[in-house]
Structure formats: C-alpha cells, structure tokens
A and B are shown apart, each in its own frame.
Chain A
Amino acid sequence: MPLYKAPFDPDKGPYIDVFISKPLSIYNEDEAENSKVRLSMLIDTGASKTGISPAKAQEIGLNPTGKQKVQSVTGQAKTNLYCGDLMLEQFTPCFYIPDMSLMQFEATTAWRDGILGRDFLSRLVFEMNGFDRTFTLTI
C-alpha cells in the first residue's frame, strides 16, 4: 500500500504539506489547477473537521459556502465553511479528496496554515511513532 513517512517535532506535532484548490466539480481544470496553494497543516486528532486560515482561503480564491457552530474549550462560536479539493502530492498518483468541507480556522501561531482533522484521517491510516519521532500515512 502507498505509504508516506516523515519526521515530526514533538514540540509542534506532525505537519504535512497539502495542496488545496477550488473544487474541480465547479470550476474548469485550468482554473482549479491555477488556484492550487500549498499549505503546511498540522495533523490534529482532537479536531473533528479540517480547517484553513482565512488568508489561505483568500489566496486559493475560496468563498464561504455556509457556516457551522464550533465547540472548543473557550466556548461555542460560529465559523465560515469553504469547499475545496485537497491533494497530497507525496503519493503517486496524488491522493485526492474532492469537495472537502473546510472550516475557517484562525491559528494563533504563525507556523500553521490549518489543521487536518478526523474527517481527513478517516480517509487513510495514520500512525505516530514517538520513539523515532516519525509519522506515517498509508492510503
């Protein structure tokens, strides 16, 4: 099975570069391809949904499609949702998730563009090895 293995910093957690574009189901191939932006995303098993920063959503050219309530330790809030295609180019052929619902997520730390939540993790196998500080994604 195709596998991607990478190191992680225990102070920051497992990060992976993903590409997100406008959904190909709506836009033509050229427009979707030209909107593709690379994001550094934290794999976050605590989050039920994948989220991206509003700055990255704007860079991709995604408009909000709706809203949803968000429950966190600080209380309940409402946030915008976007729809985009997500690609992992670490795999050949590229691992592709079309029409993914993405929440607007404003990180307080500069070193993250977003989080990959359990909606993403339910599409593959994710393993962390704390001894050798690596993580593995298998599709």
Chain B
Amino acid sequence: MTSPIQKEIDQNFEAFEKLVPELIKNHRGQFVVMRKEEPIEFFDTIRDAMIFADTKFDDGLFSIQEINQKPIDLGWFSHAPVQSTV
C-alpha cells in the first residue's frame, strides 16, 4: 500500500513534469517545494527548501524537486530497478 508521503511525492512529480518546461525558464537549478501538485516556494539549496518545508508542513506532505530535465545517468552496467516505466 502506498504511504501518504509516497502518494504526495508521486502526484507532485507528475505535476512537476508538466510544469518543468515553464519553471526552467526562470528557476533552472533551484529547488522547488511542492504540495498538493502546486509549486509553493523556490530555493537555491535543498537545505533551505527542506528547512522551509519541514517547518511549514507538519504533516510531512510535500516534496522537493530540483528544477532540471536531466535524468540520472547510471552508465552501462546498471542494476537499477524499473519501478515504473516512463
């Protein structure tokens, strides 16, 4: 069963993927705090984003996304799981 935190992260990521072409114009490389599929605030470091979100949202239902479109590269000999195909 999906936890509420995981559900929030999954839903926010779906929303983030739609928003990223627009967000990247003015916020490339920044970190956005998202809640209920909406961008809330932008920060230069993940530390500042985490401190903000942890203070503001007691229920822990938020996510932080770095604003870039580069996927993680695992090289040729990958053992990464495929959780869900894109």
Binding site for B on A (CB under 8 A): 23, 25-26, 44-49, 51, 63-80, 83, 98-99, 101, 103, 105-109
How far, in whole Å, are A68 and B84 apart by their CA atoms in the complex? 12
By size class, the interface of chain B is 20 to 34
* A47:B73 contact, CB within 8 angstroms: yes
13 further interface pairs, Cβ-Cβ under 8 Å (given A65-B9, A70-B72, A77-B81):
A47-B75, A48-B73, A48-B74, A64-B9, A66-B63, A68-B71, A70-B80, A73-B74, A74-B78, A75-B86, A77-B82, A98-B47, A99-B45
How far, in whole Å, are A97 and B60 apart by their CA atoms in the complex? 24
| Chain B residues whose C-beta falls within 8 Å of the C-beta of A101 in the assembled complex | 46, 66
Contact of A75 among B9, B50, B82 (CB under 8 A): B82
| Chain A residues whose C-beta falls within 8 Å of the C-beta of B74 in the assembled complex | 46-48, 70-73
Q: Helix, strand, loop or mixed for chain B's interface?
A: mixed
Contact of B50 among A47, A48, A65, A73 (CB under 8 A): A65
How far, in whole Å, are A99 and B46 apart by their CA atoms in the complex? 7
* B13:A78 contact, CB within 8 angstroms: yes
* B85 in the interface (beta carbon within 8 A): yes
* B79:A77 contact, CB within 8 angstroms: no
* B71:A83 contact, CB within 8 angstroms: no
Distance to closest chain B CB from A135 (angstroms): 18
Q: A49-B72, A70-B71, A71-B71 are in contact. Are A64 and B79 (CB under 8 A)?
A: no
Q: A75-B85, A77-B84 are in contact. Are A69 and B72 (CB under 8 A)?
A: yes
* B80:A72 contact, CB within 8 angstroms: yes
* B72:A68 contact, CB within 8 angstroms: yes
